[in-house]
């Protein structure tokens, strides 16, 4: 075993992202569990009645399995398992907060009257500690099915996490889960490790936000972090707006549809709604978002060069059918919305409000303007001016600005090790476009973009880095032990994990 410097101590790795949570055993190459970070909850007025309610929708298995597919769950085994586990989840839940939580693919995607959906994280940091605890509960007891008292646990966190939240997390891990060892590591560092680097610029574009984080020798350079809340959800909103304004169509999520008819392309759908009571807005929005996610995964792409109507339309059409039977054949439009990542000024004003309705007319002028803008971006004063205006930045500018904040000796290294990660970078062509755009901003140094080979791997690069780190023999001395926690309290996390 010493040959590859690994030592199996049965550590667990938990990576809670803004959209997905990954959990698994250190030393393995992919996470064992992969489920949404959002949780469903409802007020637990009467435990008996809620149990009955829960069982009712399960009688309709078709809907459930469809929902599972929409979420791209890995295999049917996991699906059935989660169904089984769900019961135990509910059993193990305490009603101390008088809220009942539903976690995991089947927990959240299943319609329950009155169930609200919420995201556990806000801006990458834990927002709702009760829900976060439920997520950990679910991952450890229902997915991995282990006793946390026997396993050291490594948890990832956002690079900008606050000291208080880390201490609270430490307390949770030792007091509630009683794990023998605990470590919290910045997800950017883990991503760099997952790509086999200790120094890198980690450009992460997720659902909620995009960030560029310089990592030096395994440490995050805090002063170099640049982020903004422009991510996958913004693209989703743009798509919903497009459907509403130009196609006069509003998405109906799958769970509401009882029966649909075949209609021609572009014609309004004909379907019957299920007679359901107690659909909450948050749940419907969550399901609509899942449908848009499917739309994005099926048809959306990024052009290698700045958006141009003609090039985009020459790339061929793709069709997409929504759950209610409404279908569209999409040509150049497939390339339009993801362009927001590279040219946000096509879509947003300087104060981050949407540009007016007549998008198509402004298209060409705006495009030209932006090309000019790109050329001027070497000019530092130009960048400074933009920063003051709180304008959305393109992702390449985000990366460039993070590099510029670092010491000049470091910049060439960072630019040579740019790691692109996050679910929002999975559009076909995204990496190529980014590799074309970033060198334009820094002409004088060589730029190399590294991405995990397959798109599936890119969903859990950070988890993989954690898996590697936690299985290293030399990592043994880094764990915070429960003994140390007893002696020094929660503050130890800020002395040990940087």
Residues that bind another protein (CB under 8 A): 2, 5, 7-10, 152, 180-181, 216-217, 219, 221-224, 375, 378, 380, 406-412, 442-445, 472-474, 476-477, 479, 481, 483-484, 498
CA proximity to 153, closest of 164, 161, 141, 162: 141
Residue 495 C-beta: closest distance to another protein, Å: 8
Structure token digits, residue 385: 């001016």
Given the complex with another protein, which of 181 and 452 has the nearer CB atom? 181
Residue 467 C-beta: closest distance to another protein, Å: 16
Scanning the structure block, which residue is given the tokens 């020798």? 217
Given the complex with another protein, which of 196 and 473 has the nearer CB atom? 473
The C-alpha angle with vertex 297 and arms to 292 and 301, in degrees rounded to 5, equals 110
Residue 484 C-beta: closest distance to another protein, Å: 6
Residue 110 per-residue DSSP state: S
Residue 229 C-beta: closest distance to another protein, Å: 24
Task: Give Cα separations from 12 to 169, 181, 267, 418, 484 (angstroms).
Answer: 16, 10, 51, 28, 19
Given the complex with another protein, which of 180 and 429 has the nearer CB atom? 180
CA distance 299 to 333: 9
CA 56 to chain centre: 31
Given the complex with another protein, which of 53 and 481 has the nearer CB atom? 481
CA distance 467 to 35: 18
Given the complex with another protein, which of 395 and 497 has the nearer CB atom? 497
Structure token digits, residue 389: 């205006």
CA distance 122 to 80: 30
Given the complex with another protein, which of 52 and 477 has the nearer CB atom? 477
Residue 421 C-beta: closest distance to another protein, Å: 22
CA distance 461 to 419: 10
Residue 215 C-beta: closest distance to another protein, Å: 10
Residue 386 C-beta: closest distance to another protein, Å: 17
Residue 103 C-beta: closest distance to another protein, Å: 29
For residue 484, with 0-12 CB atoms within 10 Å meaning exposed, 13-18 middle and 19 or more buried, which class applies? middle
**Pairing mode of beta strands 181-186, 20-25:** unpaired
Residue 217 C-beta: closest distance to another protein, Å: 6
Given the complex with another protein, which of 116 and 167 has the nearer CB atom? 167
Given the complex with another protein, which of 88 and 491 has the nearer CB atom? 491
Scanning the structure block, which residue is given the tokens 């490790």? 193
Given the complex with another protein, which of 9 and 200 has the nearer CB atom? 9
What crossing angle do the helices spanning 281-299 and 61-70 adopt, rounded to 10°?
50
Supply the DSSP string of 385-400, one letter for each residue.
HHHHTT----HHHHHH
List phi, psi (to 5°) of 37.
Answer: -80, -20
Provide the CB-side half-sphere exposure for 156 (13 A, CA): 32
Residue 223 C-beta: closest distance to another protein, Å: 5
CA distance 141 to 114: 26
Residue 442: CB partners within 8 Å, gap ≥ 6? 400, 403, 411, 415
Grouping H, G, I as helix, E, B as strand and the rest as coil, residue 188 is helix
Cβ atoms of residues 465 and 191 within 8 Å: yes
Given the complex with another protein, which of 95 and 445 has the nearer CB atom? 445
Given the complex with another protein, which of 317 and 379 has the nearer CB atom? 379
Given the complex with another protein, which of 217 and 264 has the nearer CB atom? 217
Residue 437 C-beta: closest distance to another protein, Å: 14
CA distance 448 to 435: 8
Residue 475 C-beta: closest distance to another protein, Å: 8
Helices (H) and strands (E) in the chain, counts: 18, 21
Scanning the structure block, which residue is given the tokens 């009942």? 100
CA distance 137 to 135: 5
């Amino acid at each position: 075993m010493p040959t590859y410097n690994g030592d199996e101590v049965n550590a667990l790795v938990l990576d809670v992202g803004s959209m997905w949570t990954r959990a698994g055993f250190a030393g393995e190459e992919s996470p064992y569990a992969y489920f949404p970070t959002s949780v469903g909850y409802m007020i637990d007025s009467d435990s008996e009645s809620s149990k009955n309610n829960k069982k009712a929708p399960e009688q309709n298995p078709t809907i459930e399995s469809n929902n599972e597919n929409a979420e791209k769950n890995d295999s049917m085994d996991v699906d059935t398992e989660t169904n089984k586990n769900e019961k135990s989840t509910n059993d193990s839940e305490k009603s101390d907060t008088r809220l009942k939580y539903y976690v995991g693919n089947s927990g959240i995607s299943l319609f329950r009257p009155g169930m609200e959906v919420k995201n556990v994280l806000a801006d990458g940091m834990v927002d709702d500690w009760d829900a976060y605890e439920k997520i950990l509960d679910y991952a450890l007891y229902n997915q991995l099915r282990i006793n946390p008292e026997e396993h050291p646990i490594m948890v990832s966190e956002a690079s900008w996490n606050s000291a208080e939240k880390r201490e609270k997390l430490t307390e949770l891990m030792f007091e509630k889960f009683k794990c023998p060892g605990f470590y919290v590591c910045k997800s950017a560092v883990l991503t760099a490790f997952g790509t086999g680097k200790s120094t890198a610029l980690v450009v992460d574009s997720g659902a909620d936000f995009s960030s560029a984080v310089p990592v030096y020798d395994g440490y995050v350079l805090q002063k170099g972090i640049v982020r903004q809340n422009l991510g996958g959800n913004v693209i989703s909103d743009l798509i919903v707006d497009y459907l509403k304004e130009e196609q006069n169509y509003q998405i109906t999520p799958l769970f509401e549809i009882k029966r649909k008819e075949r209609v021609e392309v572009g014609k309004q759908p004909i379907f019957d709604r299920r007679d359901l009571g107690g659909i909450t807005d948050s749940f419907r929005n969550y399901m609509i978002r899942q449908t848009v996610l499917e739309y994005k995964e099926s048809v959306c792409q990024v052009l290698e060069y700045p958006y141009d109507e003609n090039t985009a339309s020459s790339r061929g059409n793709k069709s997409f059918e929504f759950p209610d039977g409404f279908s569209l054949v999409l040509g150049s439009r497939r390339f339009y919305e993801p362009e927001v990542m590279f040219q946000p000024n096509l879509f947003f004003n300087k104060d981050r409000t949407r540009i007016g309705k007549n998008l198509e007319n402004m298209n060409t002028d705006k495009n030209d303007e932006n090309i000019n803008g790109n050329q001027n971006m070497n000019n530092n004063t130009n960048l400074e001016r933009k920063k003051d205006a709180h304008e959305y930045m393109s992702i390449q500018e985000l990366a460039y600005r993070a590099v510029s904040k670092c010491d000049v000796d470091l910049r060439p290294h960072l630019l040579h090790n740019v790691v692109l990660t996050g679910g929002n970078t999975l559009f076909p062509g995204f990496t190529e476009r980014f590799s074309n755009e970033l060198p334009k901003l820094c002409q004088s140094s060589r730029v190399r973009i590294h991405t995990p080979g397959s798109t599936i791997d890119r969903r859990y690069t950070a988890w993989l880095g954690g898996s590697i780190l936690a299985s290293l023999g030399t990592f043994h001395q880094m764990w915070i032990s429960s003994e140390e926690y007893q002696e020094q309290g929660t503050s130890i996390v800020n002395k040990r994990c940087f």
